[in-house]
Amino acid sequence: MQSPFELRTLTALSCGCVVADFHARMMHVELVSVEAQGPHCELENHRAGQVLGLGVSDELDTHQLDMLAATQTAA
């Protein structure tokens, strides 16, 4: 059986957290979740396993991941 989610990239944010970018094979969307929390990160929404957002496949890049994290922080 093939997993419905494919890990595409791991990105280290400026706060020290690592976010994972998963591709949902069936839906052509990207799912971004926090894979590991940075030891000095104080952002409440940056917990391991926390989903930060969804995006359309191939439209997410590292810069957008950072922007996404920043947006979530402000909310």
Interface with Zn ion by CB under 5 A: which residues? 15, 17, 41, 43, 46
23 vs 72, which CB is nearer to Zn ion?
72
Residue 4 phi, psi (nearest 5): -70, -15
1 vs 74, which CB is nearer to Zn ion?
74
Q: How far is the CB of 1 from Zn ion (least distance, A)?
A: 33
Neighbours of 32 (CB within 10 A): 23
Q: How far is the CB of 63 from Zn ion (least distance, A)?
A: 16
**Beta carbons within 8 Å of 61's beta carbon, 6+ residues apart:** none
